[in-house]
């Protein structure tokens, strides 16, 4: 998009190494045009995809994993056209994803839920299962071992045989991330993995993700509202706003981009070198990072907290 | 939840606390099942059938009905309880099993009510069951695209269609030989050396063992959890590489197979089949068996079948009362035990009252200073 080129020259990483490439993606639900020509390249490593609510972030994921039909554009995984494949084929090709709300079988154990992730890697069918073939049994045990190791990384090994419904929401989200990772994907789409997680869980999540990313050279794409988390984790961030990429590049570049600040906060704010956001007329105290806006609700609630008489300073 | 730091961590669920044998929960369950199924053949031989009827013959026949309904409910549980697909063609497929084996295995030169195609029983039985499974899958193809209520209606119509074809007999195809609405006499298959009722008992038990073992093996492993995924997180199965349509069809096929097998056993037991028997009433019976027993629970179908046949036997003389009581049982079950009788032990174990009692007993027996 021309906007990006103008605002961030040379910020894009080299396209040749892109694991997942989205070209000129258009999506419309009836008359509601959600994506207006999105170009994205995701290389191995951590990639952030941020933007205000309703920007179309999850729609990008839905197109990639096959839930939404695009009206125009292409998605390629390692150069292969992804959009021709069925949802299950995409998984075999190496796409893994999680959902905003955890989707687990609540009356099955955590282990069973995690094992679902390896479903497509089983070579022996259900008939072998029925005949109690030892090969099938061995395969199952191997799969369980892999799942147990993965659960261990996310601090869930002790709950492997608990019913998933007994776990807290945060742990359930971790189980879902583990399930996406045991499928041996090359590209993982994580839809708000840290939303609703406590501080400990976030630490565990990030440590696990970093380890696995480093081991497998994974391409991890994260939608997240917690800007602090995204900026600390992702060397490359894309900002989506009303179906268009308005900024792309390093965290410093993105957080200081006037277009991004405007999209998040409206008119009247600007950023300093360090990426901190200040109101133009009345500079605010330090703890007013833009992530507070997303976390604590509507814009006005947050910005009127300390302002006192200068409330509504953006006017 | 306290962390247990056992190394190495067991990959399979460990046995419940209190059991000191070093076995996983799955191995224990499997062991229990085989023990249980292995004990069943001794019941008629030892004559312990009094609970179903004071007359030994009726009691054994009733137990055989338990096995037949149990086998059908096992398949039905895979479809409704595990895959969450409300396919209601089971009564029709039950009829297919009953009539299919009856017609195929009957002598060709008998009078109309008993004429057939001279097939040996043990050839007719698998052929009919596999045919039913194929029909189930074919029906599943369009039906798997429907959801809930609409799926129920569509499959219900198919079940009725099969029964209607049986009732129309010659009008559909002269080779059908179902003897129309008057009913068909079922040729008996006798196991050498056993009398009729014992032979039926063993046959039905064989069918139940077959279904139960397959069911236990499959639900304990990958198929069980995959079907549950189709039921609970249908929308999320795509990104897991699971085709929910495929697994719905597998469930349709398995449940159709079980229904036909159970139908054949039912026909052997009652020795007379009438299209009227296989109307929606049978479907309601099976639903009661399943819901009262425990939907999606391993032991649910069997417990439900025992409950149902026991009740039916006790209310034998007052059929109207049977329906009333079944209805009340269904409502009570949904109100008090929404997960069926199968979870009753667990509920009791987890109840505050029992936990409290346990604690008191422990403190009583605690002699440490």
DSSP A283-306: PPPTT--HHHHHHH-SHHHHHTTT
Contact state of A106 with B239 under an 8 Å Cβ cutoff = no
Give me the sheet containing A80-81, strands edge to edge.
A32-42, A20-29, A72-77, A80-81
Grouping H, G, I as helix, E, B as strand and the rest as coil, residue B23 is coil
- Reported as a pLDDT band with limits 50, 70 and 90, residue B17 is low
Contact state of B241 with A132 under an 8 Å Cβ cutoff = no
d(CA B242, CA A89): 10
- Reported as a pLDDT band with limits 50, 70 and 90, residue A5 is very low
Most confident of A10-19, A295-304, B29-38: B29-38
d(CA A254, CA B186): 80
> Would you call the peptide bond into B137 cis, given omega within 30 degrees of 0 as the criterion?
no
> Exposed e or buried b for every residue in A220-248, given b needs 16+ CB within 10 A?
bbbbbbbbebbbebbebbbbbbebbbbbb
How near does any CA of chain B get to the CA of A177, in Å?
12
User: Is residue B99 scored above 70 in pLDDT?
Assistant: yes
B218 CB near a chain A CB, below 8 Å?
A: yes
Other residues' Cβ atoms within 10 Å of the Cβ of residue B299: 21
pLDDT, greater one: B242 or B170: B242
- Reported as a pLDDT band with limits 50, 70 and 90, residue A295 is very low
> Which residues of chain A from 8 to 47 reach within 8 Å of chain B, CB to CB?
none
Q: Write down the pLDDT at residue A12.
A: 43
d(CA B211, CA B220): 14
Query: Which chain A residues touch B229 with a CB distance below 8 Å?
Result: 105, 116
Among candidate residues A220, A256, A214, the one with its CA nearest the CA of residue A239? A256
Q: Averaged over A275-281, what is the pLDDT?
A: 57
Among A74-78, B120-124, B260-264, B317-321, where is mean pLDDT lowest?
A: B317-321
A65 CB near a chain B CB, below 8 Å?
A: yes
Sign of CA dihedral B325, B155, B70, B203: positive
Q: Are B135 and B249 in contact (CB under 8 A)?
A: no
User: Is residue A33 scored above 60 in pLDDT?
Assistant: yes
B216 CB near a chain A CB, below 8 Å?
A: no
Task: Among B2, B25, B222, pick the best mutation site for testing chain A contact (most A Cβ within 10 A).
Answer: B222
Q: Averaged over A181-185, what is the pLDDT?
A: 93
pLDDT, greater one: A274 or A227: A227
d(CA B202, CA A164): 41
Angle CA B300–B305–B307, to nearest 5: 95
Sign of CA dihedral B333, B335, B336, B338: positive
Query: Facing residues of B194 across strands?
Result: none
pLDDT in tens, A190-214: 999 988 888 889 999 999 999 999 9
pLDDT, greater one: B63 or B100: B100
Q: Averaged over A145-156, what is the pLDDT?
A: 93
User: Is residue B280 scored above 50 in pLDDT?
Assistant: yes
Domains of chain A, by residue range, sit at: 15-250, 256-310
- Could you tell me the two tokens for A34? 């959600």
Q: Are B241 and A91 in contact (CB under 8 A)?
A: yes
Query: Whole-prediction pTM value?
Result: 0.82
Distances (CA, A) of B128 to B88, B132, B229, B263: 19, 6, 30, 10
A105 CB near a chain B CB, below 8 Å?
A: yes
**Tell me, what's the ipTM?**
0.81
Length of chain A: 315
Interchain CB contacts (distance < 8 Å): A and B: 101
User: Is residue B79 scored above 70 in pLDDT?
Assistant: yes
Q: Write down the pLDDT at residue A290.
A: 45
- Could you tell me the two tokens for B187? 């040729």
pLDDT in tens, B285-322: 898 889 998 888 888 888 888 888 888 887 777 777 88
Query: Facing residues of A23 across strands?
Result: A74
Q: Are B74 and B295 in contact (CB under 8 A)?
A: no
d(CA A82, CA A88): 11
Helix or strand holding residue A77 (H, E): strand A72-77
A268: left (phi over 0), alpha (psi -120 to 50) or beta: left
Domains of chain B, by residue range, sit at: 29-338
Q: Averaged over A4-27, what is the pLDDT?
A: 62
Mean pLDDT of chain A: 80
User: Is residue A53 scored above 50 in pLDDT?
Assistant: yes
Q: Which residue has the tokens 């045009």?
A: A33
Helices (H), chain A: 2-7, 57-65, 87-93, 110-115, 126-130, 134-153, 169-182, 199-216, 227-233, 251-255, 258-265, 290-296, 299-303
By DSSP bridging, strand A236-241 and strand A244-249 are antiparallel
Q: Write down the pLDDT at residue B131.
A: 95
Contact state of B222 with A99 under an 8 Å Cβ cutoff = no
User: Is residue B8 scored above 70 in pLDDT?
Assistant: no
Contact state of A141 with B11 under an 8 Å Cβ cutoff = yes
Q: Averaged over A153-181, what is the pLDDT?
A: 91
- Could you tell me the two tokens for A76? 């390629």
B221 CB near a chain A CB, below 8 Å?
A: yes
Q: What percent of chain B is predicted at pLDDT more than 90?
A: 20
Angle between helices B244-270 and B56-76 (to 10 degrees): 170
Q: Write down the pLDDT at residue B13.
A: 82
- Reported as a pLDDT band with limits 50, 70 and 90, residue B340 is confident
Q: Write down the pLDDT at residue B51.
A: 62
Q: Write down the pLDDT at residue B250.
A: 93
Q: Averaged over B330-345, what is the pLDDT?
A: 86
User: Is residue B54 scored above 60 in pLDDT?
Assistant: no
pLDDT, greater one: B221 or A156: A156
Q: Averaged over B335-340, what is the pLDDT?
A: 85
- Could you tell me the two tokens for A35? 């994506």
User: Is residue A11 scored above 70 in pLDDT?
Assistant: no
Q: Write down the pLDDT at residue A274.
A: 54
By DSSP bridging, strand A20-29 and strand A32-42 are antiparallel
Among A72-81, B18-27, B131-140, where is mean pLDDT lowest?
A: B18-27
- Reported as a pLDDT band with limits 50, 70 and 90, residue A302 is very low
Q: Which residue has the tokens 């419309």?
A: A28
- Could you tell me the two tokens for B144? 């798997």
Q: Write down the pLDDT at residue A287.
A: 43
Among candidate residues A174, A154, A289, A284, the one with its CA nearest the CA of residue A226? A289
Among candidate residues A191, A225, A240, the one with its CA nearest the CA of residue A37? A240
Grouping H, G, I as helix, E, B as strand and the rest as coil, residue B127 is helix
- Reported as a pLDDT band with limits 50, 70 and 90, residue A269 is low
Q: Write down the pLDDT at residue B48.
A: 64
Q: Which of A105, A126, A132 sits opposite B233 (nearest CB)?
A: A105
d(CA B40, CA B201): 10
For the B29-338 domain, the top CATH level (class) is: mainly alpha
Among A99-108, A164-173, B184-193, B311-320, where is mean pLDDT lowest?
A: B311-320
pLDDT, greater one: A224 or B34: A224
User: Is residue A176 scored above 90 in pLDDT?
Assistant: yes
User: Is residue B29 scored above 60 in pLDDT?
Assistant: yes
Distances (CA, A) of B361 to A39, A71, B344, B346, B348: 68, 69, 22, 19, 16
- Could you tell me the two tokens for B38? 């292995």
Distances (CA, A) of A159 to A9, A20, A168, A208, B8: 49, 34, 11, 17, 14
Q: Write down the pLDDT at residue B53.
A: 61
- Reported as a pLDDT band with limits 50, 70 and 90, residue A2 is very low
Under 8 Å CB-to-CB from A62, ≥6 apart: which residues? A68
Q: Which residue has the tokens 């959801």?
A: B147
Q: Write down the pLDDT at residue B326.
A: 86
**CATH number listed for the domain at residues A15-250:** 3.40.50.300
Among candidate residues B247, B250, B330, the one with its CA nearest the CA of residue B288? B330
Among candidate residues B212, B294, B220, B258, the one with its CA nearest the CA of residue B76? B258
User: Is residue A273 scored above 70 in pLDDT?
Assistant: no
Contact state of A91 with B239 under an 8 Å Cβ cutoff = yes
A202 CB near a chain B CB, below 8 Å?
A: no
């Amino acid at each position: 998009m021309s906007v990006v080129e103008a605002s961030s020259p040379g910020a894009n990483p080299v396209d040749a190494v892109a694991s997942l490439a989205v070209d000129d993606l258009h999506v419309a639900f009836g008359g509601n045009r959600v994506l207006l020509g999105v170009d994205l390249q995701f290389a191995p490593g951590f990639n952030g995809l941020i933007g205000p609510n309703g920007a179309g972030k999850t729609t990008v994921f839905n197109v990639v994993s096959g839930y939404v039909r695009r009206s125009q554009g292409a998605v390629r995984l390692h150069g292969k056209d992804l959009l021709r494949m069925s949802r299950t084929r995409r998984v075999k090709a190496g796409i893994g994803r999680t959902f905003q709300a955890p989707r687990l079988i609540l009356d099955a154990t955590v282990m069973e839920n995690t094992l679902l992730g390896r479903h497509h890697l089983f070579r022996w069918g259900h008939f072998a299962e029925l005949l109690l073939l030892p090969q099938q049994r061995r395969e199952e045990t191997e799969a369980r071992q892999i799942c147990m190791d993965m659960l261990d990384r996310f601090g869930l090994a002790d709950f492997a045989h608990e019913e998933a419904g007994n776990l807290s929401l945060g742990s359930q989200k971790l189980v879902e991330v583990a399930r996406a990772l045991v499928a041996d994907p090359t590209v993982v789409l994580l839809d708000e993995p840290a939303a609703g997680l406590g501080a400990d869980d976030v630490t565990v999540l990030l440590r696990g993700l970093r380890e696995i990313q480093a081991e497998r050279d994974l391409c991890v794409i994260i939608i997240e509202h917690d800007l602090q988390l995204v900026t600390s984790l992702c060397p490359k961030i894309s900002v989506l706003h009303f179906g268009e990429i308005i900024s792309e590049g390093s965290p410093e570049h993105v957080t200081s981009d006037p277009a991004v600040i405007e999209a998040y906060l409206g008119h009247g704010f600007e950023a300093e070198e360090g990426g901190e956001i200040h109101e133009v007329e009345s500079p605010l105290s330090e703890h007013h990072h833009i992530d507070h806006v997303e976390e604590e609700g509507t814009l006005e609630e947050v910005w009127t907290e300390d302002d006192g008489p200068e409330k509504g300073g953006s006017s | 939840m306290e962390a247990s730091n056992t190394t190495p961590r067991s990959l399979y669920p460990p046995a419940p606390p209190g059991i000191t044998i070093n076995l996983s929960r799955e191995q224990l369950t499997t062991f229990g099942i085989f023990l249980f199924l292995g004990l069943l053949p001794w019941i008629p031989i030892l004559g312990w059938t009094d609970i179903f009827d004071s007359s030994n013959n009726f009691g054994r026949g009733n137990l055989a009905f338990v096995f037949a309904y149990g086998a059908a409910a096992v398949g039905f549980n895979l479809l409704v309880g595990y895959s969450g697909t409300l396919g209601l063609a089971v009564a029709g497929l039950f009829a297919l099993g009953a009539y299919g084996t009856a017609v195929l295995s009957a002598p060709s030169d008998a009078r109309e009510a008993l004429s057939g195609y001279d097939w040996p029983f043990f050839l007719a039985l698998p052929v009919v069951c596999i045919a039913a499974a194929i029909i189930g899958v074919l029906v599943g193809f369009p039906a798997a695209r429907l959801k809930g209520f609409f799926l129920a209606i569509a499959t219900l119509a198919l079940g009725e269609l099969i029964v209607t074809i049986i009732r129309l007999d010659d009008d559909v195809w002269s080779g059908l030989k179902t003897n129309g609405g008057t009913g068909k006499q079922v040729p008996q298959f006798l196991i050498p050396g056993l009398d009729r009722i014992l032979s039926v008992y063993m046959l039905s038990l064989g069918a139940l063992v077959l279904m139960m073992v397959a069911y236990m093996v499959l639900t304990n492993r990958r198929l069980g959890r995959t079907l549950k995924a189709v039921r609970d997180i249908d929308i999320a199965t795509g990104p897991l590489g699971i085709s929910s349509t495929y697994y719905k069809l597998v469930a349709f096929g398995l449940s159709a197979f079980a229904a036909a097998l159970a139908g054949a056993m039912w026909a052997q037991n009652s020795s007379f089949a009438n299209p009227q028997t296989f109307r929606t009433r049978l479907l309601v019976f099976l639903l009661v068996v399943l819901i009262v027993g425990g939907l999606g629970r391993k032991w649910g179908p069997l417990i439900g079948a025992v409950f149902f046949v026991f009740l039916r036997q006790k209310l034998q003389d007052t059929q109207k009362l049977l329906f009333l009581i079944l209805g009340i049982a269904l409502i009570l079950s949904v109100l008090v035990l929404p997960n069926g009788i199968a979870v009753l032990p667990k509920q009791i174990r987890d109840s505050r009252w029992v936990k409290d009692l346990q604690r008191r007993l422990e403190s009583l027996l605690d002699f440490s200073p």
